[in-house]
Amino acid sequence: MDRSFLSTIFLAFYVFVPIVSSYGNANTCRAFCGNLKIDYPFALQSGCGHPGFRELLFCINDVLMFHISSGSYRVLGIDYAYQSLVLLDPHMSTCDSIVLGGRGNGFVVEQWRAPYLNPTSDNMFMLIGCSADSSLFQAYHGKRSPCRNVSGMSCEEYYGCPGWDMIRPKQYGVVYGSGPPGCCALPFEDIKAVNLSKLGCQGYSSAYSLAPLRRAGPDEWSYGIEVKYSVQGNASFCRACEATGGSCGHDIDGKNDLCLCSGWNSTGTCDLVHSESHRRKWSLMVALAGFVTGTIILETSHLQ
């Protein structure tokens, strides 16, 4: 063995190993799906992100999908500053087409996930073709209709959409004096779950307003479900983790936050001082470096 070879190993241990071990794992949880950036609290890899959002997003052929108990939705966008996402249900009615037959997903989240995800108060759900004995109307029996305008948008305007031209001659008329309305608009907080079969409705649509812009007409509304997300728990944990080069994640059962560091997981930060396991690894590295140094000295003395 020649001296320069050994010096190279020596250098590698002293210079490169610590660099790699400090910074190698930074941002391992970040990802892209198509052109959408996936960042905390969301993640595509298991163990990454906030536990409230685990097993929620999936990237399929560069299309980001959002999966909850009522079904799968395409994610049109994520706004990290406003903490919201916009979802599209392929079987949701829009201005151009009214989809009946209860094929739409509606919007129902698992109970444990409910604190983390809620359609915004500016989001209007329009329930279409609900039966007269729907709990929607029963609960309000004798009182005012539960249907209302949301964020300057209304069913009255929605009836002007071309999609209704196919429906109007049939059961659901704009004139609904006696029977239930063909369309009933509500914000999510009034019903807490949009379950079409439970509500006895044939279909639904969802539109949201891009405040402060007031949409001119239903053909210019933004169709989709605007969902506000909130990160519950200890926000400073993630900030501290990222500040030390880690990625925010959680344990397998999603109970505890974990800071994913290079080659190990911390319940705090990636700071060397606080880590027992890392300290052990560090001592091993020092021992190896010592061994190499020793070998060099031995080799050198042999050569002389």
Q: Which residues bind ligand NAG (CB under 6 A)?
A: 47, 69-70, 108, 148-149, 154, 156-157, 195, 197-198, 234, 236-237, 240, 249, 251-252, 258, 260, 264-265, 268
Rounded Cα gap, residues 273 and 113, in angstroms:
35
- Work out how close the CB of 274 gets to ligand NAG at its nearest, in angstroms, rounded to a whole number: 10
Cis peptide before 181 (omega within 30 of 0): no
- Work out how close the CB of 185 gets to ligand NAG at its nearest, in angstroms, rounded to a whole number: 8
Q: Which is nearer to ligand NAG, 136 or 292 (CB)?
A: 136
Q: Which is nearer to ligand NAG, 85 or 185 (CB)?
A: 185
Rounded Cα gap, residues 123 and 185, in angstroms:
10
- Work out how close the CB of 138 gets to ligand NAG at its nearest, in angstroms, rounded to a whole number: 14
- Work out how close the CB of 15 gets to ligand NAG at its nearest, in angstroms, rounded to a whole number: 24
Rounded Cα gap, residues 196 and 205, in angstroms:
11
Rounded Cα gap, residues 278 and 272, in angstroms:
7
Q: Which is nearer to ligand NAG, 22 or 265 (CB)?
A: 265
Q: Take residue 82 and report the two structure tokens written for it.
A: 């406003």
Q: Kindly tell me the number of DSSP H helices and DSSP E strands found in the chain.
A: 7, 15
- Work out how close the CB of 203 gets to ligand NAG at its nearest, in angstroms, rounded to a whole number: 15
- Work out how close the CB of 263 gets to ligand NAG at its nearest, in angstroms, rounded to a whole number: 6
Q: Which is nearer to ligand NAG, 34 or 263 (CB)?
A: 263
Q: Which is nearer to ligand NAG, 120 or 269 (CB)?
A: 269
> CB of 113 within 8 A of CB of 67?
no
Q: Which is nearer to ligand NAG, 45 or 293 (CB)?
A: 45
Rounded Cα gap, residues 148 and 188, in angstroms:
12
Q: Take residue 25 and report the two structure tokens written for it.
A: 């794992």
Cα atoms in the 13 Å half-sphere on the side-chain side of 224:
19
State which residue has the least CB distance to ligand NAG: 47
- DSSP 8-state class, residue 85: E
- Work out how close the CB of 181 gets to ligand NAG at its nearest, in angstroms, rounded to a whole number: 12
Q: Which is nearer to ligand NAG, 154 or 222 (CB)?
A: 154
- For CA atoms 37, 40, 43, 48, give the dihedral sign: positive
Q: How long a stretch of residues is the chain?
A: 304
Q: Centre a 10 Å sphere on the Cβ of residue 149 and count the other Cβ atoms it contains.
A: 14
Q: Take residue 213 and report the two structure tokens written for it.
A: 């812009």
